[in-house]
Amino acid sequence: SVDEDQAGVRVSASEILMEAMRRVDEWQRLKRAIPTFSEVYTSARPRREDDDSLTGQLLKLTAQGVKTLDEVLAGVPVPRFQACERVLSLVEDGSLRVATGPEYLALGKGAEARKEYEAAANYYGRGLHYERGNPELSERRIAVLERLERNDEAAAERKVFAGTLLDQGKGEQAERQFLEAGRLSPADPLPRERLLELQLKRGAGDLDSARATSKELVALYLRLGLGEKAKGVYPRLLSLASRDRDLRERQAAVHEELNEPKVAGQLRRELAAEALKRKDVDETLVQLRQVVALLPDDAKSQALLEEVESGQYQTSRRVRRWRGVLALSVLIAAVGFSWSAYEVMALG
Q: Kindly report, residue by residue over 245-269, the tens digit of the pLDDT.
A: 999 999 999 999 999 999 999 999 9
Which pLDDT score is estimated for 80?
A: 87
Among 276, 258, 269, 257, which Cα is nearest to 295's?
Answer: 269
Mean pLDDT of 173-199: 96
Distance CA 265, CA 296 (A): 10
Which pLDDT score is estimated for 132?
A: 85
Q: Are 153 and 163 in contact (CB under 8 A)?
A: no
Q: Kindly give the interhelix angle for 135-147 and 101-113, rounded to the nearest 10 degrees.
A: 30
Could you report how far apart the first and last alpha carbons of the chain are, in Å?
A: 146
More confident position, 181 or 3: 181
Residue 148 has pLDDT above 50, yes or no: yes
The percentage of residues in the chain with a pLDDT greater than 90, rounded to a whole number, is 70
- DSSP H stretches of helix in the chain: 13-33, 53-61, 69-74, 80-92, 101-113, 117-130, 135-147, 151-167, 171-184, 190-201, 207-224, 227-231, 233-238, 245-257, 261-277, 281-294, 299-310, 312-347
Mean pLDDT over each residue of the chain, to the nearest integer: 86
Mean pLDDT of 146-158: 96
Rounded alpha-carbon distances, angstroms, from residue 42 to 114, 211, 318: 21, 52, 91
Q: Which amino acid is at 193?
A: E
Among 64, 63, 55, which Cα is nearest to 90's?
Answer: 55
Band the pLDDT of 237: cuts 50, 70, 90.
very high
Q: Which amino acid is at 178?
A: F
Distance CA 283, CA 215 (A): 22
Distance CA 149, CA 145 (A): 6
Q: Are 305 and 273 in contact (CB under 8 A)?
A: no
Which pLDDT score is estimated for 1?
A: 41
Q: Are 233 and 247 in contact (CB under 8 A)?
A: no
Which pLDDT score is estimated for 9?
A: 53
Which pLDDT score is estimated for 326?
A: 47
Helix, strand, or coil here: 10? strand
For residues 195, 200, 205, 211, the Cα torsion angle rounded to the nearest 10 degrees is: 60
Distance CA 303, CA 325 (A): 27
Least confident of 229-243, 266-280, 321-335: 321-335
Mean pLDDT of 176-182: 96
Indicate yes or no: pTM above 0.85.
no
Distance CA 273, CA 288 (A): 9
